[in-house]
Structure formats: C-alpha cells, structure tokens
Amino acid sequence: MFQKTLIIWAGIIAGVFLGYFLVTKTNILNIGNKNGSVADVFKAPKKIVIGFLPFWLISRAQADYSPYITQLSYFNVTIDSDGKIQKFTSPGESDPGWHTLSTGKVDDYLTIAKKNGIELSLTVFSGDDEKIDKFLEDPAVSAQNLINDLSPVISKYEFSDLNLDIERVGEATLDQRNRYTTFVKEVRNRLDPKITITVDAPGIAFVRDKNLADPAALSKIVDYMVLMGYDFHNPGSFVTGAVAPQTGAGIVSEFDIQSAVQAALTLVPANKLILAVPLYGYSWESLNPVPRAAVLPGSAYSISSRSVEELLSSCATCSAQFNKTDSENYFLYKNTDTNTYQQVFYPDKFSTQIKVDFVKSQNLGGMALWALGYEGANILEPLAGYSH
C-alpha cells in the first residue's frame, strides 16, 4: 500500500514539473493557434529586443543593428489633439519626426533592418498634456482618426508593430486613465490584427495609480508593455545618481530597476513585460566631490555612452568607478573655471550585462534600448547572445 501511494505521489510531482516546463519553457499554449505548428510548441518563447531609433539620431546611428535587436522602432510621429498625426508644428514648418519619415531620410535604416530579418515598428508619441487631454475627450473618434492616418504609412513601410508612447507629465485622474485605456482598446480594435501593439510606461506607473497608463488594464489589451527603466535620476533631480540603478531603493536611491520590475510583475504577465535600458547617462554640476551630492539647478545635461568614452579618453584626471549597488559607473572632475565639480553617471557593457542577466532571471518578454545612436563601442555586446 505504501509503495503504491509513493508511486502515485511521484507521478503527481512529475506531472507538476512537466506542466511547469511546458507552460514556462515552451510554446505549449500556442498548440491551438491556427498559425502554429507542432514543431513550434517545443521552441523556447521568443525574446525580443526593441531598438528605438529617434529622428534626431539618424546621422549617428549604425546602419545595421541586427546582431543586437529583433525590432527597430522609428521614433517618432506625434499624435495631435484630434488623434491625427501632427504633420506641421506651425504653418509652413513640418513636424521633424514626420518630416524625417515622409521624406525618406530613415528609409535606408528600415530597408537594411528588414533585409536582415528585423521587424519594423512605428512609435506614436505625445508629451503634451493639453493635447493628450484633448484627444482623450473622445477616445473612439481620436483612435479612428489615428488609424485613418497611420494605415497607409504602416502599409507603405510594412511596420509590424505600433508603439504608443503617450507620456502625460502631470498626474492623471482616474477618468483620464480610463479614457486612455479606452483609447488604446479602440486603436486595437481598428488596427489590422496582424499588427502588434506595444505601450510604453515609466517605472513609477507600476507602483502609483496617478500615471496615465494603467498597466493592469492595458496589459489585457496590448501585446507588450515597455517599462522605461531609466531617468531614475534626471535633470530634475536634487542630487546626482545613476540613471538606471539596479538596486539600492530606500538606501541610496528612491527607486530602482529591481523594485520596478517586481512591482510590474504583479500587474503584467512576465512574457508581456519589456525592460527598456539606457545607452546614456547624465552629467551634473555640484559643489561637493561625492556621489549623491546636491546639484546646482539647471546644470544637468544628458550624455551618450559614446560621448562618455570620448570624454574619458581626453580627461587625464578622470577615473571611472563601478558602483555595485547601482550597477553603473561614475566619475567626477573639477571645473577650474567655476570651482565646482562635474559628476557623470552612465551605463556601460557591464551594466548592460547585469540588466540582461536580470531580465533572463525574471523570464521577461524582452528588452528595449533607448536609444540607438547613443551607444559606445561595446555597450551592446551583451545583447548579441540574448535573442539570437
């Protein structure tokens, strides 16, 4: 009797482990998908790496990022107060994002990416609170206006993903959050079902309900949610610090990547969550030569990974240090003209590797890079083996 019971329990335990493996390590949930095949079932879920290519970095970007990314997202066209694409910023003056796309200045990058098997995405952006509030007054009409404008563009360039980066600067009311969710849902309903939808949100959106994005509600509508894992210290910060601290929340930083992701995973399925990492840092001016020193107001500016490397190569007194808590580098030097100290915090190859390892450990859907054109010599190398 005891032996039979032991065999039964052994079978149950084996079944649990097999079920866990099939669900988490394969595509077994796609077995009923008419587009799937039996061979696809036992493939590991696809991990994606989105490379955002802003219009202002076109001249600095590499021609081919295929060793590192799976999706190239052109940033950006802007959504206007009626939901339509903003084509002019003023009479006779073209919107720069629309102008760069419509005049073919980004065509070579899109063509090379597609040739090398990279999917194409188009980012629709707004950071204008007044215009956001206006187009959310009637989410359905605005969504229809947007799709009317976007459909020929998507068809022409063969974009396979639509990225929505709608960032309201001020706090959002519950009504505004609900209207934004409705807007995204209406866009989904009107968009070609073969086109995926990705929505971006800052890390704080996953821990506070005052952000425009409602991750729990949106994740039921969209294919992916991008957690913008950067600007934890930024030009508005009162002290210097890492742009994307890996840990240290409540100790040396108010918030960190690990805390943001853990909070996000309570709202968004892991396979839908994309962690965006920075390819840039910030430089601040301070009176004291120590990390987390108070900054002089208005002194901060962003600095690309590439520019950091150039600065270090020409600065005889600069000595970079890697902070294990932040998983970022920093260095400082004295500005003899002002008798103050310049502090620079920035990610590098090792920072990226730690982020890649963390994303793997959490079994997230993938990563994103902000932004292509900022990268230095080897900061992208850890991504070469992640999604390929």
Residue ranges covered by each domain of the chain:
1-45, 47-280+349-383
Question: Does pLDDT of 26 surpass 70?
Answer: no
Instruction: Write down the pLDDT at residue 28.
Output: 47
Fold classified for 47-280+349-383: TIM Barrel (3.20.20)
SS3 letters across the chain: CHHHHHHHHHHHHHHHHHHHHHHHHCCHHHCCCCCCCHHHHCCCCCCEEEEEEEHHHCCCCCCCCCCCCCEEEEEEEEECCCCCEECEEECCEECHHHHHHHCCCCHHHHHHHHHCCCEEEEEEEECCHHHHHHHCCCHHHHHHHHHHHHHHHHHHHCCCEEEEEECCCCCCCHHHHHHHHHHHHHHHHHCCCCCEEEEEEEHHHHCCCCCCCCHHHHCCCCCEEEEECCCCCCCCCCECCCCCCCCCECCCECCCHHHHHHHHCCCCCHHHEEEEEECEEEEEEECCCCCCCEECCCCCEEEEHHHHHHHHHHCCCCCCEEECCCCEEEEEEEECCCCEEEEEEECCHHHHHHHHHHHHHCCCCEEEEECCCCCCCCCCHHHCCCCC
Indicate the pairing of strand 280-286 with strand 301-304: antiparallel
Residues sharing a CB contact under 8 Å with residue 306, sequence separation 6 or more, in sequence order? 60, 374, 375, 376, 377
Residue type, 118: I
Instruction: Write down the pLDDT at residue 94.
Output: 97
298: left (phi over 0), alpha (psi -120 to 50) or beta: left
- Greater confidence, 8 or 277? 277
Instruction: Write down the pLDDT at residue 13.
Output: 52
Q: What rounded mean pLDDT belongs to the chain?
A: 91
Question: Does pLDDT of 1 surpass 80?
Answer: no
pLDDT digits (tens, 9 = 90+) for 183-212: 999 999 999 999 999 999 999 999 999 999
If pLDDT is split at 50, 70 and 90, which confidence band does 72 have?
Answer: very high
Instruction: Write down the pLDDT at residue 199.
Output: 98
Instruction: Write down the pLDDT at residue 254.
Output: 87
Instruction: Write down the pLDDT at residue 207.
Output: 95
The answer to whether the CB of 312 falls within 8 A of the CB of 318 is yes
Instruction: Write down the pLDDT at residue 5.
Output: 47
pLDDT digits (tens, 9 = 90+) for 93-139: 999 999 999 999 999 999 999 999 999 999 999 999 999 999 999 99
pLDDT digits (tens, 9 = 90+) for 112-121: 999 999 999 9
Question: Does pLDDT of 387 surpass 50?
Answer: yes
Question: Does pLDDT of 7 surpass 60?
Answer: no
Question: Does pLDDT of 153 surpass 90?
Answer: yes
If pLDDT is split at 50, 70 and 90, which confidence band does 35 have?
Answer: very low
Average pLDDT over residues 8-36: 46
Question: Does pLDDT of 39 surpass 50?
Answer: no
Instruction: Write down the pLDDT at residue 46.
Output: 76
If pLDDT is split at 50, 70 and 90, which confidence band does 16 have?
Answer: very low
Average pLDDT over residues 48-61: 98
In Å, how far from its chain's centre is CA 112? 22
Residue type, 212: L
Instruction: Write down the pLDDT at residue 385.
Output: 86
If pLDDT is split at 50, 70 and 90, which confidence band does 388 have?
Answer: low
